[in-house]
Structure formats: C-alpha cells, structure tokens
C-alpha cells in the first residue's frame, strides 16, 4: 500500500461533501469512494470519518436516513442538504484560490503536473 | 444561518440513540470484513484484519458523541455533580471556603453599599458630572455662598456655565397653618433652579419667571412626602391655596419622590426666592444664597475657576469691605465634592480596608484550593491517564471554584445585610446618604462580580498546575513551586493585615485620646431640653420670653435640680454662634485690624449656665440674677480670650464694643476655658453674652436641628437625681405651660457622644476589618505550616533517626513559620508607614507614624502568628521516628 498523505486541516469536510454531491451514500461507501478516486492515496480511517460525518450533520450540511444497502443490510445513508450544497460551492472556491496561490508560490502553473 | 441554528437546536433536544451509532459502526466493520473475504481471506482472518484496521471503536464513538452541539453542557452538569459529591465527602473544606468567602464578600458588599453613593453613584440630577457649586468661601463658612450684591453680576457676565441659579442658604422652619397645623422645612429657590438640576415636578409645573419676583403671585412646590402625608396624594392639590406662615400660597406643583437639594437636604416646601433684582444689585452684601451651575460641555472645573477669577476680583473690590477682603476666596468645585468632600477620605479608607480583607480571604481560599489540589493530585493523575484532557481538568476545577464562589456570595449577601444594619446603628448622623444605603440590584451585581473574580483567581491558580507528565506514583517529589506560591500568599496576607492592624491601632489610640480629653464642663447628670415653639403662636420676642421664663421658674421648683440655665448652644461642638475677633473693640484702645484674629465663639447665656455646667469663674464674677433686669449689657470672657484681649491685665469692668451693632458690653468676669472647637479641633476663644429678660434678647426662630437660624434658647439642667426621672418631670412641667409644644430632651453625655460618633464609626469598622484580616492571615499561616510539617514527616523521621532532638524539630518547623512572619511583617510595616499619611487628618493627638503603636502592632502580630506556627510545629515534634520513616 502506498503511504497515505496527511490531509490538510478541513479538507476532509470538503472531500466528504464533494463525494456526497454525487448522491446518498453510507459511511463505508464514502470512505471507499474517496480511496478509489484518489487511487489509494487518500485513505480515510473510520476514526476521523465518522466524527466528521456527525459534525457535518450537526451543522446541517448533510442529513442521514436509514435505508438498505446493496447486500440488503440496514445502513445509514448520508445525503447533501441544500445548505450543504452551498457550503460545498464556497469551500471549493476557497480551495481553488488556496491551491492556485500555493502553486504560484511554488513557481508552478496551476494544473500542471508535478 | 438560521437553518443551521434550528438544526442545532433540534439535535439539542433529540438525543441520537447510542445504538444507532453502534449499528452504523457495526455496518462499517461488516463491510470491511466482506471486502477482506472477497480478497481471499478466511472469515476469521478477514474479521481480525477489519478490526485492526478499524482501530478503537469506543474512541470513535466518543468522538462522534463529542461532535454534538451543546455536548459540553452535559459535562458541566457532570462536573457540578462531581464537585458536590466532593464537598459532601469533605464538608470541612467546603464550609471553611464558603465561610471565608462570605466574610470577604459580605464585608466588601456592606462597605460598598455605604460608600457607593458617596464615591461612585451618579447624583440624582441630569448632567450631574457637570454640576458645580460656585461662590465665595471664608474662614467662618467653608461651603460656597453668594450674595445678591454680586450674584446677578456673575450670572450675567459668566461664560463657563450654561445654567446658573441659586437656592436659599439652608432650610428654615415654616408653619403650615390650617386645621391640622404642622411645622415644615422650607427652602427658597429661583425659577431657574430646578431646570438647572434637570428636575421637573411630577405634578404641575415649576415656578414661572413672573412668580420669582418681589410681590409676585405667592406660589409653592410641595414635596412628595408632604403631598402623601398631609394630603393623601390628592390630585386636586394643584392650585389649592395653603397658608404658609400666614400667607395664602398656591400649590403649583409636586416635587419628585426623594428629591433632595444639592445641599443634601430634603425640603417639604419650595418657595420662589422672589429677590428684588434692582435692589439686590445695589446692596452690599445683599441676600445670602447658595449658587450652583452647570458647566458648558467641554469646560472643566479648573477652566471655569480661571474664567470666574476676573469676576471674583471685580466683586472683591465692589462688594467686600477692604479690611476683610483677604479672608475671601473664590471656590468652584464639583457637586459631589460639595456634598461629600469631608467624608470621601473615610469612605475610601473603609473601601480599601474591606478590599484588603477580601484579598486576604481570597488568598486564604487559594491556599486551601491549592492544598486540596495537591491532596487530589493522584486522583487527577488517574483521570488524566484515563483520557481527561487538560482543558477538562481545568474546567472541573473551575466548576468547583464557581460553585464555592456562588455559595460564598449568597452567604456573603446575607452577612452584608446584617453588617449594613450594624453600620447604620453605629454611623454618625453627619455621613450623607447613609440612612438610605441598602443592598440593591447594583450592589448584588457587584457582589456576584466579586465572587466570580475570586473564583477565577483561586480556581485558576491550582488548575494551571495540571499533572502533565506527572507520574502516578509521584508523591514524595512535590513540586516546590506550589509551596512557594502558598508561602508568598501567606506573606502577602501577613503584610496586608499588618497594614490594617496599624491603621486600626492608630484610630483606636486617637479615639481614646478623644474620649479621655478634658472637656472643661461637667457632662454627667446634665440634661438639655430644646423646645420648638411654633412660630405662628409665639410670634414675638415677648411671648417667647414669657414662655421660657415660666419654664425656668417651674423647673427650678422641681426637687433634685441644682441649676437651670439658658444658652443658645453648647460646647464642645455642633452649631455655635461666632463673632469676628476683629469685631470686638476694647473701649479706649485703637480698633483691632480687620481681617485678622479669626473668630470667637459666642454664646447667649443666663447666669445659671456656668453653674449647671460647672464652669469655674477664674476672675471677677459670674453674671448675677439681678443683671438680667439691668439695662447694662454684660459679658464674660473665656480665659483664652481674656489673655488675648487683655494680656497681663484684669479685664473685669473693662468695656468692649461689638462693632457690627455698636453695643457696648461690660466685662463681668473671666470663665475657665471649655472645649469648644468640636472634639478634635483646637479650642477657640469664647465670649458669653448675658441673655437678659427683655423681649429683644429672645427674638429669633427655633433652630432646625443643629443647623439653625436665629438663636432660640436651650434649657441646660443640672440634675441631682437620675436623668431619666428628671427628664420626665421636665416634660410634664413644660406640658403644663403649653401641652402642644414638642420637647426634645438629651443628656449632655449623649450630645458629646454623638460628636464622637464619627471617630467611633471609623475606629469600629477599621478595627473589625483588621481583626478579620488578622484571623484570616493566621489561619492561612497555620495551614501552610501544618502542610509543610506533614510534607516533611519523612525528613523529620530521618533527622530524628540521625540524632536530632525534638527541640531541633520544633526549631526547624517554627523557623519556617518565623521566616514567613518576619518577611510579611517587614513588608507590611513598610506599606503601613507609606500609607499612614493618608490617615493623618482622621487622627487626634497621635502621629501617623507613632513608633509605640507600630511596635505594639508588630509585636501583637508576631505573637499571634508565632502561636499559629507553634501548634503544627509541636505536632511535628511529637512524631514517632519509626512511623515517620515509613510515612509515604
């Protein structure tokens, strides 16, 4: 397994929101999805995943419902609320500004591969 | 935003079920296992790997739980429950802390209630910070006054003020004549006076300018109290005609409840000044009055004084006679200073000493909390090891502190109630606003703030020292830092109580000096009776004289009475009439230089006055009964005055002219000096005029309290029998002459004692605080020394095993205490000497740095403190070496 990269503070929230933007998903699914999409670079331990999910739910950005999983097991599904969608947009914007700024400082054109 | 808030509130109400969280995590595990199996592991191995990957389930669950908004509130309750359980387990600790805090907070709150109005609370007028008292001061009157001769000139030409108006000099007695007559307190004021203060009547209106003119319509404003007590709050009072001193007067308004004049008096009736402006401008001096003004915004008092100076200089030249000009000065000072200047020092000293006690209490409580913190170090280490964060531990300690503070504050409030009542009983009448002091909302708030401050201080000190890397086993290696902290707290306490004690001792000595001084008069068995003759019935000097002579004759017939005399005032203080020294000219000699010589106390007395008070006549003779019906004017000089006017001469038979009215008095004799400048001021020269039995000597109104107008006589009675019995007879005798006149009887001892009320009040309060401070400091010292002794038990065991005697151990432990005492004592002595100068004006016949006092105080403190260290030291001495060595 490739070594996991430490996540920037606050980035986890953004990743979860972005993942849930695709549709309702349970906790396990969120973790798997992030791992797959990032080609195993980003591995979310449950120790940070679930507190983050709960935190977002308490903030009203996501909501949860009990439903059945693919293997017909009762699971808690999270989905984005309208508020969460707005939050996602603003966080994306911030992220973009930040990463392009960092890119400038590092002397690389944003988007170019390292 | 609102949605977010709503969500939070929803979650606050609805607890997510813990089983749901379990289900969720369980699901995650299963998914993980299933993936592993799909990857080719055996079922058992798959589950094992999944669990390893998962990590601590419990930790995650807790972390999820902590995300809940308002999660910490639950922990507060938990902390409170935990703290309460702790207090129940160790009630002595909790009670000691609460009692200590209650004492500190109670004393501070009570004193704050008393001094609040004097020092801090805004005056009950609009723009009170810009109100000033303006006028002249001179040696005979220290409160600003103005007179018509220059008031109007000042009013028209002044620049620094936006409002400028006057009231009469003081309340005067006036009679409400109707079916239910009453003697009232009246005051005159100009039409602009109430607007200056920003006061408007609650009913009706202020005087109109045309009513504030000579021969204008007669109108009056009445007080809320008069409206309530006399007219039952009848709204029809407006425009009613009432008879005041024989004049039909229209009531045009009612003053607000609790209205007080800037002279701190409460009038029943306010009448227009109705000054004749043209006449006043031309007259010199004109009608006296008290003038107040409101500064323009941005102008300060110094500026105003500077701007008024040219006007004052002009006035000086035109109005004040050249001979006495030197004696007059311009004064502009804030209204607060005008009202409370002479008690501000006392108020500050009381507040400072109460705060000092509070500081000592807080230090004590801090010490206790630190000791408790140490006793529970192991427990906290365990909690820390089990995952309690530093923040959580601090929160727990703060919760305890807050609980104790609030309990202490509640108990302190009750104590303050009681203390305040005691203060009010002790308090002299001269302290303004005291009678109305009470613990109100503002003061309650002050208390709570104080307690919070206390809580924060003593809560954080120990909490800061959280067991970070503290090993569970650690016990022997106590941090020295903590005892250092406790020791410095104790040194501070001792220093503060040294300051308090020396202040109290100085006041006590001064009070003793006041009590023990020789007054020059006999005060035992002497009664004084003041009779308030209603002015509308006794409206001529003749009628008054007849009444008093009748009373004198009746009292003389009573058994058990040695002498009955008259005087208009009594030594040693209170109101006394006075003459200028320069106003008394010896016949056949050049007149004394005006403006020099200060003042001379003058009293109008009957011959028996000297006998009643047992004042010896040292030269010549007393007034004789026959002189009372003589056409001659007679005077008796005091020894001091005789020595000044007739050095090396017998004044008997000499003639003195009172320049202001040209009357020539013949000196009958010289009486011994009496204390007449109050209890603590220097004696003044004194002249006695004979009050003859002719109508002109009995004019004037009854005095109002001690502040008076004219000079109505007091009966001075020397009783052989008990004063209470004689007082009854006096009342009944006077009632036989006129049953309706109120008689006020006091013993001379009561009057004298009243004059000592102020020093007694100051001494008692400071003494009380010093005592509290000392007790607290000693308890603190005791606590530290016993702690140190216990801490060093093992060391003591070793020392004893190596051959140290018990005396050595005693010396070791008490030496520890001694160091703290000496350190604190020396620091305190320095601070006390530095601050003692502040007390100077309160002291009588004792210097603020009296070495004997400081020596005695230091000795007392050292002794008491040393006893406090000996007790634990003796306990340490008794320790069995074998046990001590095994002591953990």
Q: Where are the alpha helices (DSSP H) in B119-238?
A: 148-157, 193-197, 224-231
Instruction: Compute the distance between CA of residue B658 and CA of residue B662 in angstroms, rounded to an integer.
Output: 5
Tell me the residue ranges of DSSP E strands in chain A: 25-26, 62-68, 74-80
Range of the domain at B45: 2-69
Same domain, residue pair B336 and B346: no
Asked whether residue B611 is domain-assigned, the answer is: yes
Interface probe for B, chosen from A1, A35, A60 (most Cβ of B below 10 Å), is A60
Instruction: Compute the distance between CA of residue B355 and CA of residue B347 in angstroms, rounded to an integer.
Output: 12
Number of A/B CB contacts below 8 angstroms equals: 65
Among all residues of chain A, which has the CA nearest to that of B14? A58
3-state helix, strand, coil in chain B (%, to 5): 55, 15, 30
Pairing state between β B247-254 and B219-222: parallel
Interface probe for B, chosen from A1, A13, A51 (most Cβ of B below 10 Å), is A51
User: Residues of B with CB below 8 A from A59's CB?
Assistant: 4, 7-8
3-state secondary structure of B802: coil
Same domain, residue pair B672 and B805: no
- pLDDT given at position B43: 84
- Beta-sheet strand order (sheet of A25-26): A25-26, A74-80, A62-68
Q: Write the DSSP symbol of residue B44.
A: H
Task: Yes or no: say if B289 and B167 are a contact pair by the CB < 8 Å rule.
Answer: yes
Q: Which residue has the higher pLDDT, B798 or B473?
A: B798
Is the pLDDT at B11 greater than 70? The verdict is: no
B270 confidence band (pLDDT: 50, 70, 90) = very high
Instruction: Compute the distance between CA of residue B449 and CA of residue B433 in angstroms, rounded to an integer.
Output: 24
Whether residue B3 and residue A60 make contact (CB cut-off 8 A), yes or no, is yes
Torsion of CA B255, B260, B262, B263, to 10 degrees: 130
Q: Which candidate, B347, B349, B350, B342, places its Cα nearest to that of B837?
A: B349
* Distant-in-sequence, close-in-space partners of B35: CB < 8 Å, separation ≥ 6: none
- pLDDT given at position B885: 75
Taking the Cβ of residue B516 and every Cβ of chain A, the question of whether any pair is shorter than 8 Å is answered with no
Percentage of chain B modeled with pLDDT above 70 = 91
Q: Express each pLDDT in B175-189 by its tens digit.
A: 888 877 787 889 999
Q: Minimum mean pLDDT among B122-136, B246-260, B296-310, B482-496: which range?
A: B482-496
Asked whether residue B289 is domain-assigned, the answer is: yes
Average pLDDT over residues B580-585: 84
Task: Yes or no: say if B563 and B293 are a contact pair by the CB < 8 Å rule.
Answer: no
Asked whether residue B246 is domain-assigned, the answer is: yes
Is the pLDDT at B470 greater than 60? The verdict is: no
Asked whether residue B522 is domain-assigned, the answer is: no
B472 confidence band (pLDDT: 50, 70, 90) = very low
Asked whether residue A31 is domain-assigned, the answer is: yes
B193 confidence band (pLDDT: 50, 70, 90) = very high
Q: Which residue has the higher pLDDT, B368 or B294?
A: B294
Q: How many domains does chain B have?
A: 4
Distance from CA of A53 to the nearest CA of B (A): 8
Q: Express each pLDDT in B859-870 by its tens digit.
A: 999 999 888 888
Distance from CA of A100 to the nearest CA of B (A): 29
* Distant-in-sequence, close-in-space partners of B130: CB < 8 Å, separation ≥ 6: B294, B295, B297
Asked whether residue B228 is domain-assigned, the answer is: yes
Instruction: Compute the distance between CA of residue B212 and CA of residue B504 in angstroms, rounded to an integer.
Output: 53
Q: Report the phi/psi class of residue B662: left, alpha or beta, with left for phi > 0 and alpha for psi in -120 to 50.
A: left
Asked whether residue B123 is domain-assigned, the answer is: no
Asked whether residue A58 is domain-assigned, the answer is: yes
Is the pLDDT at B711 greater than 70? The verdict is: no
Q: Is B600 exposed, middle or buried (0-12, 13-18, 19+ CB in 10 A)?
A: buried
Neighbour tally for B179: CB within 10 Å: 4
Whether residue B64 and residue A51 make contact (CB cut-off 8 A), yes or no, is yes
Q: Which candidate, B265, B280, B308, B39, places its Cα nearest to that of B160?
A: B308
Asked whether residue A2 is domain-assigned, the answer is: no
| Length, in residues, of chain B | 888
Give Dmax over CA atoms of chain B in angstroms: 140
Same domain, residue pair B273 and B320: yes
Asked whether residue A1 is domain-assigned, the answer is: no
Instruction: Compute the distance between CA of residue B875 and CA of residue B764 in angstroms, rounded to an integer.
Output: 37
B264 confidence band (pLDDT: 50, 70, 90) = confident
Q: Express each pLDDT in B622-655 by its tens digit.
A: 999 999 888 888 999 999 999 989 988 899 999 9
Task: Yes or no: say if B500 and B350 are a contact pair by the CB < 8 Å rule.
Answer: no
B703 confidence band (pLDDT: 50, 70, 90) = very low
B702 confidence band (pLDDT: 50, 70, 90) = very low
Instruction: Evaluate the omega torsion of the peptide bond into residue B285 and state whether it is cis, within 30 degrees of 0.
Output: yes
Q: Which residue has the higher pLDDT, B77 or B479?
A: B77
Asked whether residue A112 is domain-assigned, the answer is: no
Whether residue A47 and residue B24 make contact (CB cut-off 8 A), yes or no, is no
Interface probe for A, chosen from B34, B49, B66, B67 (most Cβ of A below 10 Å), is B67
B740 confidence band (pLDDT: 50, 70, 90) = confident
DSSP B746-793: EEHHHHHHHHTHHHHHHHHHHHHHHHHHHHHHHHHHHHHHHHHHHHTH
Instruction: Evaluate the omega torsion of the peptide bond into residue B572 and state whether it is cis, within 30 degrees of 0.
Output: yes
Q: Which candidate, B475, B374, B377, places its Cα nearest to that of B794?
A: B475
Within 13 A of B77's CA, how many CA atoms are on the CB side?
A: 4
Pairing state between β B561-567 and B714-719: antiparallel
User: Residues of B with CB below 8 A from A71's CB?
Assistant: 34
Asked whether residue A113 is domain-assigned, the answer is: no
Same domain, residue pair B862 and B771: yes
Instruction: Compute the distance between CA of residue B473 and CA of residue B482 in angstroms, rounded to an integer.
Output: 18
Task: Yes or no: say if B411 and B106 are a contact pair by the CB < 8 Å rule.
Answer: yes
Nearest Cβ partner for A27 among B4, B28, B67: B28
When mean pLDDT is compared over B80-84, B152-156, B511-515, B569-573, the highest value belongs to B152-156
Task: Yes or no: say if B831 and B879 are a contact pair by the CB < 8 Å rule.
Answer: no
- pLDDT given at position B188: 93
Task: Yes or no: say if B662 and B615 are a contact pair by the CB < 8 Å rule.
Answer: no
Q: Is A24 exposed, middle or buried (0-12, 13-18, 19+ CB in 10 A)?
A: middle
Same domain, residue pair B398 and B269: no
CA distances from B614 to B227, B479, B557, B565 (A): 47, 73, 20, 11
Taking the Cβ of residue B39 and every Cβ of chain A, the question of whether any pair is shorter than 8 Å is answered with no
- The CATH number of the domain where A17 resides is what? 1.10.10.10
Q: Which long-range contacts (CB under 8 A, 24 or more apart) does B415-420 make?
A: B415/B102, B415/B103, B415/B105, B415/B106, B415/B107, B415/B110, B416/B105, B416/B106, B416/B107, B416/B109, B416/B110, B416/B113, B416/B443, B416/B447, B418/B106, B419/B106, B419/B107, B419/B110, B420/B110, B420/B113, B420/B114
Within 13 A of B804's CA, how many CA atoms are on the CB side?
A: 21
Asked whether residue A3 is domain-assigned, the answer is: no
Same domain, residue pair B410 and B495: yes
A3 confidence band (pLDDT: 50, 70, 90) = very low
Q: What are phi and psi of B200, to 5 degrees?
A: -125, 145
3-state secondary structure of A45: coil
Instruction: Compute the distance between CA of residue B557 and CA of residue B296 in angstroms, rounded to an integer.
Output: 65
Interface probe for A, chosen from B14, B28, B58 (most Cβ of A below 10 Å), is B28
Asked whether residue B308 is domain-assigned, the answer is: yes
Q: Write the DSSP symbol of residue B821.
A: H
Nearest Cβ partner for B63 among A51, A58, A75: A51
Range of the domain at A73: 11-105
Q: What are phi and psi of B580, to 5 degrees?
A: -75, 140
Is the pLDDT at B799 greater than 80? The verdict is: yes
Whether residue B67 and residue A69 make contact (CB cut-off 8 A), yes or no, is no
CA distances from B837 to B302, B570, B859 (A): 26, 33, 22
Q: Which long-range contacts (CB under 8 A, 24 or more apart) does B382-388 make?
A: B382/B472, B384/B466, B384/B467, B384/B470, B385/B472
- pLDDT given at position A38: 86
Same domain, residue pair B579 and B727: yes
- pLDDT given at position B162: 94
- pLDDT given at position B265: 84
Boundary (domain end) residue, out of B340, B364, B396:
B340
Cα radius of gyration (chain B): 38
Mean pLDDT of chain A: 81
Nearest Cβ partner for A60 among B7, B32, B56: B7
Average pLDDT over residues B706-710: 36
Task: Yes or no: say if B608 and B563 are a contact pair by the CB < 8 Å rule.
Answer: yes
Q: Express each pLDDT in B492-503 by its tens digit.
A: 999 999 999 999
Mean pLDDT of chain B: 84
Q: Minimum mean pLDDT among B14-23, B407-416, B575-584: which range?
A: B14-23
Q: What are phi and psi of A68, to 5 degrees?
A: -105, 140
Q: Express each pLDDT in B801-841 by its tens digit.
A: 888 888 888 888 888 889 999 999 999 999 999 988 888 88
Among all residues of chain A, which has the CA nearest to that of B33? A28
Percentage of chain B modeled with pLDDT above 90 = 28
Helices B748-755 and B757-791, interaxial angle, to 10°?
50
Distance from CA of A9 to the nearest CA of B (A): 16
- pLDDT given at position B888: 58
Buried residues in A76-86 as b, exposed as e (16+ CB within 10 A): bbbebbebbee
DSSP B327-370: G-EEEEEEHHHHHHHHHHHHHHHHHHHHHHHHHHHHHHHHHHHH
B716 confidence band (pLDDT: 50, 70, 90) = very high
Instruction: Compute the distance between CA of residue A68 and CA of residue B254 in angstroms, rounded to an integer.
Output: 82
B487 confidence band (pLDDT: 50, 70, 90) = confident
Boundary (domain end) residue, out of B42, B69, B96:
B69
Q: How many domains does chain A have?
A: 1
B40 confidence band (pLDDT: 50, 70, 90) = confident
Same domain, residue pair B864 and B780: yes
Average pLDDT over residues B43-56: 81
Asked whether residue B778 is domain-assigned, the answer is: yes
Whether residue B23 and residue A76 make contact (CB cut-off 8 A), yes or no, is yes
Boundary (domain end) residue, out of B290, B314, B340:
B340
Same domain, residue pair B465 and B575: no
Taking the Cβ of residue B34 and every Cβ of chain A, the question of whether any pair is shorter than 8 Å is answered with yes
Asked whether residue A73 is domain-assigned, the answer is: yes
Q: Which residue has the higher pLDDT, B153 or B402?
A: B153
Same domain, residue pair B577 and B507: no
Is the pLDDT at B15 greater than 60? The verdict is: no
């Amino acid at each position: 397994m490739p070594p996991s990269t430490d996540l920037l503070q606050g980035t986890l929230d953004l990743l979860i929101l972005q993942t849930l933007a695709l549709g309702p998903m349970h906790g396990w699914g969120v973790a798997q999805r992030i791992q797959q999409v990032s080609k195993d670079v980003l591995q979310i331990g449950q120790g940070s995943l679930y507190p983050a999910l709960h935190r977002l739910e308490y903030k009203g950005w996501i909501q949860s419902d009990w439903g059945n999983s693919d293997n017909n097991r009762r699971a808690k599904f999270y989905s984005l609320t309208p508020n969460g969608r707005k939050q996602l947009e603003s966080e994306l914007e911030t992220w973009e500004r930040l990463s392009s700024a960092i890119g400038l400082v590092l002397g690389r054109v944003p988007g170019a591969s390292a | 935003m609102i949605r977010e808030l709503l969500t939070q509130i929803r979650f606050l109400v609805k607890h997510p079920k813990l089983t749901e969280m379990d289900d969720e995590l369980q699901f995650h595990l299963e998914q993980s296992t299933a993936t592993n199996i799909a990857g080719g592991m055996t079922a058992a191995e798959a589950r094992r790997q999944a669990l390893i990957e998962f990590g601590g389930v419990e930790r995650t669950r807790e972390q999820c739980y902590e995300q809940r908004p308002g999660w910490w509130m639950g922990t507060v309750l938990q902390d409170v429950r935990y703290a309460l359980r702790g207090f129940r387990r160790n009630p002595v600790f909790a009670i000691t802390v609460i009692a200590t805090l209650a004492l500190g907070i109670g004393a501070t709150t009570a004193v704050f209630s008393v001094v609040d109005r004097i020092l801090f609370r805004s005056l009950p007028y609009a723009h009170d910070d810009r109100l000033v008292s303006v006028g002249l001061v001179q040696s005979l009157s220290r409160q600003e006054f103005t007179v018509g001769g220059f008031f109007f000139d000042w009013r028209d030409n002044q620049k620094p003020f936006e409002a400028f108006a006057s009231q009469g000099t003081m309340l005067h007695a006036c009679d409400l004549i109707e079916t239910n007559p009453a003697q009232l307190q009246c005051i005159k004021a100009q039409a602009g006076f109430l607007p200056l203060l920003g006061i408007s009547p609650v009913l009706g209106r202020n005087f109109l300018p045309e009513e504030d003119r000579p021969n204008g319509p007669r109108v009056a404003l009445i007080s809320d109290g008069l409206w309530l007590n006399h007219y039952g709050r009848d709204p029809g009072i407006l425009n009613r005609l009432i008879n005041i001193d024989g004049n039909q007067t229209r009531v045009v308004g009612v003053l607000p409840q609790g209205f007080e004049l800037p002279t701190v008096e409460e009038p029943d009736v306010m009448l227009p000044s109705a000054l004749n402006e043209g006449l006043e401008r031309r007259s010199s001096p004109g009608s006296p009055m008290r003038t107040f003004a409101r500064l323009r915004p941005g102008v300060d008092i110094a500026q105003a004084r500077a701007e008024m100076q040219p006007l004052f200089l002009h006035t000086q030249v035109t109005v004040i006679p050249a001979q006495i000009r030197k004696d007059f000065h311009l004064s502009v000072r804030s209204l607060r200073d005008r009202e409370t200047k002479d008690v501000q020092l006392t108020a500050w000293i009381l507040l400072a000493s109460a705060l000092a006690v509070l500081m000592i209490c807080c230090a004590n409580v801090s010490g206790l909390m630190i000791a408790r913190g140490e006793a529970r170090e192991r427990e906290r280490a365990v909690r820390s090891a089990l995952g309690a964060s530093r923040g959580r531990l601090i929160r727990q300690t703060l919760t305890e502190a807050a609980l104790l503070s609030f309990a202490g504050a509640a108990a302190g409030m009750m104590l303050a109630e009681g203390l305040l009542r005691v203060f009010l009983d002790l308090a002299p009448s001269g302290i303004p606003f005291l009678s109305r002091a009470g613990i109100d909302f503002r003061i309650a708030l002050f208390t709570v703030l104080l307690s919070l401050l206390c809580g924060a201080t003593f809560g954080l000190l120990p909490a800061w020292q959280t067991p970070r890397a503290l090993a569970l086993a650690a016990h022997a290696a106590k941090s020295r830092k903590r005892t250092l902290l406790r020791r410095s707290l104790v040194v501070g306490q001792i220093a503060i109580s040294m300051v308090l004690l020396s202040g109290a001792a100085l006041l006590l000595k001064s009070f003793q000096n006041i009590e023990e001084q020789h007054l020059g008069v006999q005060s035992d068995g002497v009664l004084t009776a003041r009779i308030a003759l209603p002015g509308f019935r006794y409206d001529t000097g003749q009628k008054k004289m007849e009444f008093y002579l009748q009373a004198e004759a009746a009292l003389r017939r009573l058994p058990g009475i040695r002498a009955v005399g008259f005087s208009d005032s009594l030594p040693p203080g209170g109101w006394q009439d006075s003459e200028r020294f320069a106003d008394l000219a010896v016949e056949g000699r050049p007149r004394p230089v005006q403006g020099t010589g200060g003042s001379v106390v003058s009293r109008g007395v009957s011959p028996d006055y000297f006998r009643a008070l047992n004042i010896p006549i040292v030269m010549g003779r007393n007034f004789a009964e026959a002189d009372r019906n003589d056409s001659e004017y007679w005077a008796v000089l005091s020894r001091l005055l005789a020595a000044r006017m007739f050095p090396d001469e017998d004044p008997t038979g000499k003639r003195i002219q009172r320049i202001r009215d040209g009357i020539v008095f013949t000196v009958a004799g010289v009486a011994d000096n009496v204390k007449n400048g109050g209890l603590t001021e220097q004696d003044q020269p004194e002249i006695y005029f004979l009050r003859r039995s002719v109508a002109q000597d009995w004019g004037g109104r009854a005095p109002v309290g001690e502040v008076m107008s004219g000079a109505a006589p007091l009966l001075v009675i020397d009783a052989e029998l008990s004063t209470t019995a004689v007082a009854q007879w006096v009342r009944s005798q006077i009632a036989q002459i006129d049953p309706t006149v109120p008689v006020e009887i006091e013993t001379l001892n009561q009057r004298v004692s009243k004059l000592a009320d102020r020093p007694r009040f100051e001494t008692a309060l400071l003494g009380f605080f010093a005592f509290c401070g000392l007790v607290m400091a000693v308890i603190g010292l005791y606590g530290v020394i016993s702690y140190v002794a216990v801490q060093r038990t093992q060391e003591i065991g070793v020392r004893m095993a190596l051959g140290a005697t018990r005396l050595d151990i005693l010396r070791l432990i008490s030496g520890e205490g001694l160091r703290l005492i000496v350190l604190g004592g020396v620091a305190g002595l320095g601070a006390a000497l530095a601050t003692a100068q502040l007390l100077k004006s309160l002291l009588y016949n004792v210097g603020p740095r009296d070495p004997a006092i400081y020596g005695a105080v230091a000795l007392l403190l050292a002794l008491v403190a040393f006893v406090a260290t000996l007790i634990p030291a003796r306990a340490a001495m008794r320790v069995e070496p074998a046990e001590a060595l095994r002591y953990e």
